[in-house]
Chains A and B, each alone.
Chain A
Amino acid sequence: MSLMSLTAVELGKLIQKKEVTAVEATEEALAAITAREEAVHSYVTVDAERAMQRAHKVQEQITAGELTSPLAGVPVAIKDNMCTKGLKTTCSSKILYNFIPTYTAEAVLRLEHAGAVILGKTNMDEFAMGSTTETSAYGVTRNPWNTEHVPGGSSGGSCAAVAAEECSYALGSDTGGSIRQPSSFCGVTGIKPTYGTVSRYGLIAYGSSLDQIGPIAKDVTDCATVLEAISAHDPKDSTSVKREDTDFTQALVDDVKGMRIGIPNDYFGEGLDADVRERILTAAKELEKKGAIVEHFDLGLVKYAIPAYYVIACAEASSNLARFDGVKYGYRTEDYDGLHQMYKKSRSEGFGAEVKRRIMLGSFVLSSGYYDAYYLKALRVKALIKQAFDDAFAKYDVILGPAAPTTAPKLGASLSDPIQMYLGDIYTISVNLAGLPGISLPCGLDSHGLPVGLQLIGDCFQEKKIIRAAYAFEQTRDYARSSIAQEQNGGAS
């Protein structure tokens, strides 16, 4: 039995019981990567030597009884937009092709303190801008369920790595659905916490008011465990919130009796794939059987979330990405005549098309004469959307719906029509606008054998409610392993 087919928590237990060592786990992870990367390409950078050194060091501490966290010695993959000291961090962009951070992101540091072993950095849409991981400058990642399909994005690499069992769990980031949507496409579980729960220090910013780091793993228990480990107030992040209730594993209880679940009617209009619809409604029935009170309601404003999001995210991104200018780090063009040409050429050559598109849109909506009509308008709509959720959560504990309107599209099918692609974010985006927590977990396959993801949304700071509902639902099914995981590992686990 492969250690990589275990959950992170299961592996962590074996390590604590001294039945398995961190070194063995890391070796197996690296072997899995070697075997599967050609097919999947989840990673941008794998540093085997560093991982092994670290595994040895961690094992010493475990043996000495110094590291007792459930994640000690368990190998993890980190999305390539989180700074890792001494380990190349590229945001899957050419403009950071050689960037080696001199410090580590706070969330990653917390995992390291718990004894995590970092295997490498996973592929993503460039600067987290995209929904398919196809805008990466380092090649696409393939869905481990069907390698002709995308894994989703922007945390496609992290989700694929978990689904392909190339790591025990991963960290991703979510600005408009970038953890939840690829989790649903890859048949794994992912959580975006309430805004401010996990420090953004060291996360290379895309949409500052929307970004959050979160866990991606095989099940809710793993996600809750990892989230607990990385959630803490950080004085280096002014938007970091002080919370007393980050003991999320306390919510791993199979009990939804009396829980009020609301299903927005507006999520079930045109554009929602029939198979996905069926899986989601079936999932809701399962929860109802367990005693939850399920009701349909009108959430409102759903379609406006996307344009509002794009105005805000692109505006913030246009400013956040201004620092990439060839002066202090990263790519500098070779031929230039004067400062402004250096800026323009470095950026134009270093950024991909989607990034440039969003930077330009963002600059435009902030520019003189348009700020009120676009940016401020979007911020007003954001307030309305938050209000709509506040009203909903006055009646319901949890909102249930699909994570995405379809299952994973084929590679190459999405990029030609950007707006169509943006519409795929319809269920996840408003959650970021309102700063709420959301979880996506597998709820079945479509008729083509591709995973469908169920999304549960909670009111702010209510991760425990959605974790509980997700955990309860999860008990009604078995974890399904991706084709790649099964193939490469000789079938049954």
Chain B
Amino acid sequence: MSREYETVIGLEVHVELATKTKIFCGCSTAFGGAPNTHTCPVCTGMPGSLPVLNRQVVEYAMAVGLATNCTINQNCKFDRKNYFYPDNPQNYQISQLYEPICRNGGVEIETADGSKKTIGIHEIHMEEDAGKLVHDDWDDVSIVDFNRSGVPLIEIVSEPDMRSAEEVIAYLEKLRLIIQYLGASDCKLNEGSMRADVNLSVWEVGATEFGTRTEMKNLNSFRAIARAIEGEKNRQIDLIESGEKVIQETRRWDDARESSHAMRSKEDAQDYRYFPEPDLVPIHISDEWLEEVRSRQPELRTEKLERYESEYKIPRYDAEIITSSKHMADLFEQTVELCGKPKKVSNWLMGETMRLLKEHEMEPEDIVFSPEHLAALVDLADAGTINSSVAKEVFEKMFTDDTDPKQYVEEHGLKTVNDEGALRETIEQVIRDNPQSVDDYHNGKEKAIGFLVGQTMKAMKGKANPGMVNKILKELL
């Protein structure tokens, strides 16, 4: 008799904050850079070095806490988490265990059947990132680079409220949206600015006690997360069904092999001996400071959706696409502010922009063109100064390198020719050159006029006003 099982999933999500400097020193957090160039005695654990807290980290943590409905812990502090690993220069990580900055929040997601569910957030805390290890398989050595050591992280620990991979993905997407909207991080799973560890156990449907859970790491994409959940669920069920026990352990997912293996060895006691960090003083968040951060919270996605529908009269579907990325939403709002044509701007974003993003495998965050330029393009097209196919051509240029549309149109002489006289001349020539089509048209083939329009456009290098061409052709024919 086969039993029915359900997965119980909690997530620990680490987010790299978008500060300019590291959490405890003035080194740059800029991505890239040759190994160990963004380092100093503090973030490399030199003897005698001491940490000093970056205020911006606290404010981002507060912002994320507020946006996820957490209670802000107005008296919080740091603790040391002690363990040995080469990417950890002090062999302790400064984190928060006893008094994290946020507690007891929640985030609403939409489940597969369209109903809403709240995923609880147990706590959010600040901590420092470790360095990077590059493995040299040839020589059996690893090389340590401390550029990333000390980059500020917030860790968002959820309650074990998720029951499926879909819910996990929905939760992650919601978190990402919120955090991106706050500007607190760009949350890119594939770049490591957002990392998720999955805690999973299984229980029989109807059970009241949680099963033993395992922790899964090394999940670098939504796809890997989904597969890992499926894989681990099956592994645990297999164990239980064959009478064995699930061991509480940390496992590493190998997406290429679609399997996991236990990570820790006997040498990792996992007894972190947390104690209050003596080199840092506690943080007291006054009511005034909290209010100040609260008042600076930017409009979040749900609010924007409402506003786009009511103020800009954009259909819900379009609003959802545009607000799915803060960058795109900002672009939309700023462009509309300049040219005041929300529907037209929306069309450009929904149409050509999305098309090109998909074609180039880019994210909306990667859009390079500015609101000024988009507004200019919208105006040029709207005024008929350029026709629609020219507009598309100019847009592609703008998409690639933020070319100024006005300038481009001038330089390449792309203005629509509206001069009847010039057009007439060309059209007359086209009529002379295509007698067959002319006959076809006179014989009732409406489509033939399309061909003639095409030929005219060709002759005019695309710059003719198509409406006018049509009108003149019909006249002359």
Contact = CB atoms under 8 A, between A and B. Distances in A.
A322 B41 contact: no
A319 B271 contact: no
B192 interface: no
A8 interface: no
Given A323-B91, A325-B91, A343-B84, A209 B48 contact: no
A238 B279 contact: yes
A328 interface: yes
Interface in A282-334: 315-316, 318-319, 322-325, 327-329
A103 interface: yes
A101 interface: yes
Contact of A238 (B52, B90, B144): B52
Contacts of A202: 48-49
Contact of B82 (A101, A203, A322): A322
A340 B90 CA distance: 16
B92 A236 contact: no
A393 interface: no
A45 B53 CA distance: 35
Contact of A319 (B44, B48, B51, B275): B275
Contacts of A322: 82, 84, 90-92
Interface stretch (A115-123, A272-280, A360-368, A437-445): A360-368
A83 B47 contact: yes
B346 to A, nearest CB: 49
A102 interface: yes
Given A101-B48, A201-B48, A204-B47, A238 B89 contact: no
A328 B45 contact: yes
A339 interface: yes
Chain A interface size range: 35 or more
A336 to B, nearest CB: 12
A243 B50 CA distance: 20
A239 interface: yes
B273 interface: yes
B384 interface: no
Given A101-B47, A201-B50, A323-B90, A366 B82 contact: yes
B273 A371 contact: yes
B48 A82 contact: yes
A316 B278 contact: yes
Nearest to B40: A103
Interface string B279-290: 111000000000
A239 B80 contact: no
A102 B89 CA distance: 16
Contacts of A201: 48-50
A400 interface: no
B92 A200 contact: no
B46 interface: yes
A209 B281 CA distance: 11
A319 B80 contact: yes
A319 B82 contact: yes
A105 interface: yes
A66 interface: no
B267 interface: yes
Contacts of A235: 52
A349 interface: no
Contacts of B82: 318-319, 322, 366
A323 B89 contact: yes
B86 interface: yes
Contacts of A367: 271, 273
A208 B86 contact: no
Nearest to A209: B278
Interface in A80-102: 82-83, 89, 91, 96, 99, 101-102
A401 B274 CA distance: 37
Contacts of A340: 84, 267
Contacts of B271: 367-368
B86 A363 contact: no
A205 interface: yes
Interface string B41-65: 1001111111111000000000000
Contacts of A102: 41, 46
A339 B46 CA distance: 20
A329 B271 CA distance: 26
Interface in A222-281: 235-239
Given A99-B47, A103-B41, A238-B279, 14 more contacts: A83-B47, A101-B46, A102-B46, A201-B49, A205-B48, A237-B50, A238-B281, A239-B278, A319-B82, A319-B275, A322-B91, A325-B84, A366-B275, A367-B271
Interface of B: 41, 44-53, 80, 82, 84, 86, 89-92, 144, 267, 271, 273-275, 278-281
11 contacts: A101-B47, A200-B50, A238-B50, A319-B275, A325-B91, A328-B45, A329-B46, A366-B82, A366-B274, A366-B275, A371-B274
Q: Would you list the 9 A-B pairs with minimal beta carbon distance, nearest first?
A: A322-B91, A366-B273, A208-B278, A209-B278, A204-B47, A202-B48, A340-B267, A323-B45, A83-B48
Interface of A: 82-83, 89, 91, 96, 99, 101-103, 105, 200-205, 208-209, 235-239, 315-316, 318-319, 322-325, 327-329, 339-340, 343, 363, 366-368, 371, 375
